[in-house]
Chain A
Amino acid sequence: MVAAPKKDMIPLPAKIEKVVVETDDGLLKSFYLRLLDEEAQREFKHTPGQFAMLSVAGKGECPIGIASAPSEELIMFTVFRTGLVTDALHRLPEGAIIGLRGPLGNGYPLEKFRGKNVVLIAGGFAVTTLRATLVYLLEHREDYGEITMIYGARNPGLLLYKEELAAWRKREDMKLYLTIDREAPGWDGLVGFVPQITEQVAPSGENAVALVCGPPIMIKFTLPVLEKCGFGPEQVYLSLENRMRCGIGLCHHCNVGPFLVCRDGPVITLAALKRLPPEY
Chain B
Amino acid sequence: MYYILKREDLRPWLEAINREYTLFVPRTRDGFGPYEGELYLEGKTRLSAKEFFLPWREPLLVYEARPGALPKVVEGPVEKRVVFGVRPCDARGVILIEKVFSPDPFWQKRREATSLIGLVCEEPGTECFCWAMGVNPFSGEGLDLVLVPHEEVYLVKVITEAGKKLLSLSRAEEGGEEAFLSREKEFKAKFPVSPALEKLREKDLMTIYEAPFWEELALPCLNCGACTFLCPTCYCFDVQDEVVGSEGVRVRLPEACMFELYSRHASGHNPRRSPMARFRNRFMHKFKYFLDEYGEPLCVGCGRCNEECPANINLWDIVRAMSEV
Contact = CB atoms under 8 A, between A and B. Distances in A.
Interface of A: 7-11, 13, 55, 57-62, 82-84, 86, 92, 96-97, 99, 216, 241-243, 245-246, 248-253, 255-258, 275, 277-280
Given A57-B63, A257-B205, A82 B266 contact: yes
Interface of B: 60-61, 63, 65, 67-71, 73, 100-101, 103-105, 205-206, 209, 235-241, 243, 248, 250, 252, 255, 257, 262-267, 269, 271-272, 277, 281, 284-285, 288-289, 292-293
Contact of A57 (B71, B257, B263, B269): B71
B248 A8 contact: no
A252 B271 contact: no
A82 to B, nearest CB: 5
Interchain residue pairs A-B with the least CB separation, the first 8: A83-B266, A7-B103, A258-B289, A279-B271, A252-B236, A57-B63, A97-B68, A58-B243
Contacts of A241: 265
A250 B100 contact: yes
Nearest to A82: B266
Nearest to B63: A57
A99 B104 contact: no
A279 B285 contact: no
Contact of A10 (B61, B205, B206, B237): B61
B65 A10 contact: no
A257 B240 CA distance: 25
Contacts of A82: 266-267
B238 A57 contact: no
Contacts of A10: 60-61, 73
B209 to A, nearest CB: 5
A252 B105 contact: no
Given A57-B241, A255-B285, A256-B271, A97 B266 contact: no
Given A243-B265, A277-B206, A60 B239 contact: yes
A59 to B, nearest CB: 6
B248 A58 contact: yes
A258 B292 contact: yes
Nearest to B293: A258
9 contacts: A9-B239, A11-B71, A57-B69, A99-B71, A242-B263, A251-B236, A251-B255, A255-B285, A275-B206
Contacts, number: 109
B265 A242 contact: yes
B60 A9 contact: yes
Q: Which of B71, B73, B257, B271 has the largest count of A CB atoms less than 10 A from its CB? A: B271
Nearest to A15: B68
B272 A60 contact: no
Given A8-B104, A57-B65, A243 B71 contact: no
Nearest to B242: A58
Nearest to A278: B271
A99 to B, nearest CB: 7
Contacts of B67: 92, 96-97
B305 to A, nearest CB: 17
A8 B60 CA distance: 10
Given A57-B241, A251-B239, A257-B289, A242 B271 contact: yes
A216 B100 CA distance: 31
Contacts of B292: 258
Contacts of B65: 57-58
B289 A255 contact: yes
Nearest to B261: A243
A187 to B, nearest CB: 27
Contacts of B61: 10-11, 57
B260 to A, nearest CB: 11
A149 B319 CA distance: 48
Contacts of B235: 250, 252
A252 B257 contact: yes
B239 A245 contact: yes
A61 B289 contact: no
Contact of A243 (B73, B206, B264, B293): B264
Contact of A257 (B103, B105, B266, B284): B284
A216 B271 CA distance: 12
Contacts of B241: 57-60
A261 to B, nearest CB: 10
A240 to B, nearest CB: 10
A123 to B, nearest CB: 14
Contacts of A243: 262-266
Contact of B266 (A13, A59, A62, A280): A62
Contacts of B266: 62, 82-84, 86, 243
A58 B63 CA distance: 8
A277 B237 contact: no
B286 to A, nearest CB: 11
A279 B265 CA distance: 12
A245 B238 contact: yes
Given A57-B69, A97-B68, A243-B265, A279 B272 contact: yes
Contacts of B237: 245-246, 250-251
Given A97-B68, A251-B255, A252-B257, A280 B205 contact: no
A257 B105 CA distance: 27
Contacts of A62: 266
Given A58-B63, A252-B235, 11 more contacts: A55-B250, A57-B61, A92-B67, A97-B68, A216-B269, A243-B262, A243-B263, A253-B255, A253-B262, A255-B281, A257-B205
A9 B252 contact: yes
